[in-house]
């Protein structure tokens, strides 16, 4: 039987399938997300936290999937394939990502507006030197949102930036129109080498 060559996207999907993460490579909903200004006091003080997305893997499995993706050379925005070193999970970045995902869920829209990354990461004690953020809505699982980001030149470049050393991913289950709100935070803290 001849050997089948896989593109990086489908090699990742195959690995995710072998890792039990059930890849779903469907695109997000066709509706283009709208952005709107965020209010600093968008959430009510007594509101119940939104649940995590059903089936979301534990941080170790998420980190493993992202590190496999970063180790696979790929063309994002340039002409030459790039790869990047492994990331570490950071619980402080997770707290910040979770808050942002809940706010998007509360508003029912994808939005980078509101407090800056420096302000948001600082509020959870992360002394940001560099930071990046990818947002996603509607993707049913980790494989779907990761494949989407790797297929988008700007999101791919962010994810593959070797200057980042830390990461966290949050997904909150919400209501229509998207039902899943994803926030990836990438960072490098002050005092970290490179």
Q: Which residues pair with 89 in a beta bridge?
A: 167
Supply the pTM of this predicted model: 0.76
pLDDT 10s digit of each residue in the chain, 194 long? 333 333 333 333 333 333 333 333 223 333 333 322 232 333 333 456 678 899 999 999 999 999 999 999 999 998 899 999 999 999 999 999 999 999 999 888 888 777 899 999 999 999 999 999 999 999 999 999 999 999 999 999 999 999 999 999 999 999 888 999 999 999 999 987 65
Q: What local confidence, expressed as pLDDT, does residue 147 receive?
A: 97
Residues 86 and 67 sit within 8 Å (Cβ to Cβ):
yes
Q: What local confidence, expressed as pLDDT, does residue 50 receive?
A: 73
DSSP string, the chain: -PPPP--HHHHHHHHHHHTT-----PPPPSSPPP--PPPTT-S-TTPPPPPBPTTPPPHHHHHHHHHHHHHS-B-SSSSS-B--PPPEE-HHHHHHHHHHHHHHHHHTS----SS-HHHHHHHTT--EEEEEEEEEES--SHHHHHHHHHHSHHHHHHHT-TT--EEEEEEEE--TTTSEEEEEEEEEETT---
Q: What local confidence, expressed as pLDDT, does residue 34 receive?
A: 30
- Tokens coding 142: 């980790």
């Amino acid at each position: 039987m001849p050997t089948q060559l896989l593109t990086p996207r489908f090699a990742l999907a195959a690995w995710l399938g072998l890792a039990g993460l059930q890849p779903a490579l469907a695109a997000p909903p066709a509706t283009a997300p709208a952005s709107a200004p965020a209010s600093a006091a968008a959430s009510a003080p007594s509101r119940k936290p939104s649940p995590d997305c059903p089936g979301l893997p534990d941080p170790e499995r998420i980190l493993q999937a992202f590190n496999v993706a970063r180790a696979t050379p790929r063309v994002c925005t340039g002409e030459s394939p790039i790869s990047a070193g492994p990331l570490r999970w950071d619980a402080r970045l997770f707290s910040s990502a979770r808050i942002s995902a809940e706010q998007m869920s509360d508003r029912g829209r994808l939005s980078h507006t509101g407090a800056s990354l420096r302000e948001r990461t600082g509020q959870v004690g992360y002394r940001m030197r560099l930071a990046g953020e990818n947002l996603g809505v509607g993707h049913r699982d980790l494989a779907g949102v990761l494949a989407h980001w790797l297929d988008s030149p700007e999101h791919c470049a962010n994810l593959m930036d070797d200057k980042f050393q830390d990461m966290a991913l949050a997904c909150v289950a919400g209501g229509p129109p998207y039902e899943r709100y994803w926030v990836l935070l990438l960072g490098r803290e002050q005092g970290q080498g490179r």
